[in-house]
Chains A and B, each alone.
Chain A
Amino acid sequence: MRKIFDIHGGVHPPENKVQSLGRGIESAGIPPVLVHPLSQHIGAPAAPIVEVGQRVLKGQMIADAKGFVSAPVHASSSGTVSAIEHREIPHPSGLLAPCIVIDTDGKDEWIALDPIEDYTALEKADLLHRIRDAGIAGMGGAGFPSAVKLSTRDDVVIDTLIINGTECEPYITADDILMRERADQIIAGVKILQHLIQPTEQTLIGVEDNKPEGIAALRAAAEGSNIEVVVFPTKYPSGGEKQLIQILTGREVPSGGLPADIGIVCQNIGTTVAIHRAVQYGEPLISRITTVTGEACRAPGNFEVLLGTPVDYLLKLGGFQQDKCIRLVMGGPMMGFTLRDTTAPVVKTTNCLLAPTQKELPPPPPAQACIRCGMCAEACPVSLLPQQMYWFARGKEYEKLEEHNLFDCIECGACSYACPSNIPLVQYYRASKAEIRKQQQEKVKSEHAKARFEARQIRIEREEAEKEARRKARQEAAKKKAAAGKDPVKAAQEKAATPAVDPAQAAIEKAMAKRSGNAPEETNEEKLARLKKAVETAEKRLESATAKLKEAEAADAPNLGALQTAHERMTEKFAKAKDELQQFEHAANETPSSGDPAADAIARAQAARAKNADKSPLEKAQEQVASLEKRLEKSEQKLAEAKESGSETAEVLEQSTAKLRDKLDAARAELAQLSESEAPVAAATSTNDPAQLAIEKAMAAREAAAKLSPEDKAKKALESLEARVEKTRTKLAEAEENGADTVDVLRDTLAKLEDKLTEARKEAGVEG
């Protein structure tokens, strides 16, 4: 006899298993509608691979696994996909989740299956692949994808394979009936698992001692194999994976660890059958055995149900009485949850539908204060301190909760069951676990956000720095350009403008000034003064020389000849000085700011241009023609010379001479044109402008007047006045004769003129 170990705590609730064991497994048949939730397992939801309106066959994959921890979903009967939408699912939250809805056609038409004769010929990976593609997830209640659980690492040696047939929770008999009716399938599945896992020591099927018929059937089926069926006393929750391992082997799965860490793999009996069917016949997981029980059901029993069958369809088969039922529970009374809507479907983990009456499973009485009795700690199968954890959970002291190994809690509900104050302890732990997980996720998210924020800050700073660097570079370049653009002369002038203190600097400046050509230089005024002085001295000398010459002439001196030559020289010098002065004065007038040679040149050029501008186009043309003629003459001469000497340049010269000739012809033509057009214009200016003539006359008169003496001037004025008076008188007489309008005006002017005349006569008389 094998040694059976005990687990800490545990409770003994009424089993209530007999009600549903009256009949064997019955087929639930094909419901009109199948609802397949995409998430029936732990892990990522499957992704739909069918479209609305598509016909699907029984066993056809309709949603594929997405990610490693995931499982595909298969159509459990043939029909048409009528919708892929959010529907009620069996979940404590009562939330809607995406589902694939199939309207069945009743034909139950299978897809082509791929059975295999000898699975031992298959590689481990191929076997796992078959299990994974069959969509098998733990059917005991948790729904962990079996393929993931079975893909143990190669370096981990598994010594024990345990098949869980405990089914410790009250009311549920799905595994019991399976053992009774399909023990051979279970054993076949276990053999596949043995082949897959290769347990080095033992293969155990653990069954509680409240299922004698099932145990007998299993033992009969396992006859002759190395599979041992181990029976142990009934106690809730010995069906927990870790608890069963402890009961059968005495080993404890470390906190936060997996059974594989201690060399054990554990699978549920229902899962084993599913694996058998998947590997041997290629059938995916499309049905399961579900217990329908409770006093509100007239015909409790076990049904082989197609996955996706709506709960209300199944309940009808069990003789469900809505009015008697206080609440509908999916799962057992200890760990199950209340179903809010009966349209939710049966899924891979639905082992039981419990429809109890008020008397059978009364709603939990109101919770009262904790009396610190410690019954919960006694009941806990994991040896936790539920009471402590309750206080921490209420105080939201999550760190303390973790220190008290909250995550080792299997949420079996034994503590709540044992609590005399009816405190829903498990709910506290579930909420706290969820909160801690949420905080951890938020922490990860916040770390991520922080990293992104910091990366952004760094990026912005870098961009700013780059911008600044570019701006500076541009500034530098502009400065350099400006410095290079200034010519040295200008720079020197600028420097000269600032008072020089440094002697070296002054020297450099001088040198620069010398180089630029306007070295020690007198200003205009100075030059003018100098020239004037020279003229003056020359004049004086000339005068004295003339005086001496006259004296000598008068005295008939012997040095007359010498004096004469000296006088001549003086006259020459005087003329020269005068010339110079005049020239300078002229230049100064024309170029007000001379000094800079360049400026001078510009001024000269401007002056020349101004002169040109003054010239008429005719004159210009004439000049051009003249210069061209000169050039032509020269080039013809050269050409003749070149021809004589037989030089190579003769040809080139000939060409240029021809060109010049052309140019000359063109210039002459222009000149002819211009002289034609100029002639009438000139005539017009000379004859047609009387005003111009009058002005010229007045100017001439003025000039003449300026030459006259004051007496002459007065005389002339008197004469002219007399003449004007005469003229006016004759005009007046004419006007009076004609009776013209101007008579009055003429009279006025006559009077005025006569006044002026008398005045002028008086003046003349005084002076004369």
Chain B
Amino acid sequence: MIELLTQHPFIAALASLAILGLAFGSLLGFAAVKFKTEGDPIADQVEALLPQTQCGQCGYPGCRPYAEAIAEGDAINKCPPGGEATINALADLLDVEALPLDAEEESVPSVAFIREEECIGCTKCIQACPVDAIVGAAKHMHTVVASECTGCDLCVEPCPVDCIDMIPLPTTVQNWSWELPKPAEEVIVEDLIATDRDSNSSNRNEAA
């Protein structure tokens, strides 16, 4: 055998390559079984970026199904509650082009409000709420737990007496924030030249 190999280097090379191939092949096969990834890691990452309002405005029944659809190549611009920020984050994650939002406008953060005196207690909104944020019982008035409401407005349509309003969240001292200034390039400047400005201001003072 050894003689055969030594005398025929071509066969020796072939044999050694075959052995190597087998060895690495089995190694890879083992690794594929041993280190198999559970679930869909990309969908998980995508889901973490979605706003979880469960509003279904993307056309999927909830954020998880949309995340799975994105992982399988659906467009990333179908989430109005997430808006541009979510689209950018998704574009970063998936390394694709950020697209303009595929909707009229970003949805304003809001909460559902039931005009309680008009509620007939039909429980339809309770069944529609994806996060169980509506409390009430049949033939009894319902009300929205505002802190749990995601503002998905899925409860508005099933209401037979149209007693649910979507109220945009008010700006209070607690949630107010400074606005980002307009970039210098976009601001139209009139008194850019210092001497002009000085003369203008002195004129103004004289007038006063």
Contacts and interface: CB of A to CB of B under 8 A. Distances in A.
Interface of A: 39, 45, 89, 91-93, 95, 97, 323, 358-359, 362, 365-370, 393-394, 396, 421, 423-424, 427-428, 430-432, 434-435, 437-439, 442, 445-450, 452-453, 455-456
A449 B85 contact: no
A561 to B, nearest CB: 105
Nearest to A367: B184
A91 B172 CA distance: 11
A370 B185 CA distance: 10
Interface residues of B, number: 39
Interface stretch (B2-10, B22-30, B69-77, B175-183): B175-183
A358 B131 contact: no
A368 B204 CA distance: 24
Contact of A450 (B52, B133, B172, B192): B52
Contacts of A434: 177-178
Contacts of A394: 180, 183
7 contacts: A93-B176, A366-B189, A428-B181, A434-B177, A449-B148, A453-B63, A453-B131
Nearest to A91: B173
Contact of A449 (B53, B176, B177): B53
Contact of B181 (A365, A424, A448): A424
A89 B187 contact: no
B52 A453 contact: yes
B54 interface: yes
Contacts of B37: none
B176 A427 contact: no
A438 B187 contact: no
Nearest to A45: B174
A95 B150 contact: no
B208 interface: yes
A141 B173 CA distance: 17
B181 A93 contact: no
B165 interface: no
B131 A438 contact: no
A447 B54 CA distance: 12
A93 B177 CA distance: 8
Interface in B153-208: 171-181, 183-185, 187, 189, 191-192, 197, 201, 204-205, 208
B51 interface: yes
Contacts of B171: 93, 95
A423 B208 CA distance: 30
The 7 closest A-B pairs by CB, nearest first: A434-B177, A446-B52, A430-B178, A367-B184, A431-B180, A93-B176, A452-B131
A432 B85 CA distance: 13
B184 A439 contact: no
A153 B192 CA distance: 55
B208 A93 contact: no
B62 interface: yes
Nearest to B133: A452
A421 B192 CA distance: 11
B180 A449 contact: no
Nearest to B187: A366
Contacts of B185: 369
Nearest to B63: A450
A705 B85 CA distance: 118
Contacts of A92: 178
A447 B52 contact: yes
Main secondary structure of the interface of B (DSSP, over half): loop
B180 A428 contact: yes
Interface of B: 47, 50-54, 62-63, 85, 88, 130-133, 148, 150, 171-181, 183-185, 187, 189, 191-192, 197, 201, 204-205, 208
Contact of A452 (B148, B180, B191, B192): B148
Contacts of A428: 180-181
A610 to B, nearest CB: 60
B178 A431 contact: yes
A439 B172 CA distance: 17
Nearest to A365: B197
B184 A366 contact: yes
Contact of B208 (A45, A323, A368, A449): A323
Contacts, number: 99
B56 to A, nearest CB: 11
A710 B56 CA distance: 104
Contacts of B150: 445, 449
Contacts of B62: 453
Contacts of B131: 449, 452-453, 456
A432 B192 CA distance: 28
A427 B177 contact: no
Contact of B179 (A358, A396, A431, A445): A431
Contacts of B181: 367, 424, 427-428, 431
B186 to A, nearest CB: 10
A552 to B, nearest CB: 107
B130 A456 contact: yes
B66 to A, nearest CB: 13
Contacts of B132: 452, 455-456
Contacts of B204: 358
A424 B172 CA distance: 24
B173 A39 contact: yes
B180 A453 contact: no
A45 B179 CA distance: 23
Nearest to B171: A95
Contacts of B173: 39, 89, 91, 93, 95, 97
Contacts of B205: 358
Contacts of A393: 180
A67 to B, nearest CB: 13
Nearest to A368: B184
Given A89-B173, A366-B192, A449 B179 contact: no
Nearest to A398: B85
Contact of A358 (B54, B177, B201): B201
B63 A435 contact: no
Contacts of B179: 427, 431
A435 B88 CA distance: 15
A421 B177 contact: no
B179 to A, nearest CB: 6
Given A366-B187, A421-B184, A453 B54 contact: yes
B51 A446 contact: yes
A69 B85 CA distance: 32
Nearest to B150: A449
A449 B183 contact: no
A758 B187 CA distance: 141
A439 B85 contact: yes
A428 to B, nearest CB: 6
A442 B51 CA distance: 7
Contacts of B148: 448-449, 452
A431 to B, nearest CB: 4
Contacts of B175: 438
Contacts of A359: 201
A611 to B, nearest CB: 64
Contacts of B174: 39, 45
B115 to A, nearest CB: 23
Contacts of A438: 175, 177
Contact of B176 (A95, A369, A435): A95
A169 to B, nearest CB: 19
A95 B172 contact: yes
Nearest to B170: A95
A377 B184 CA distance: 19
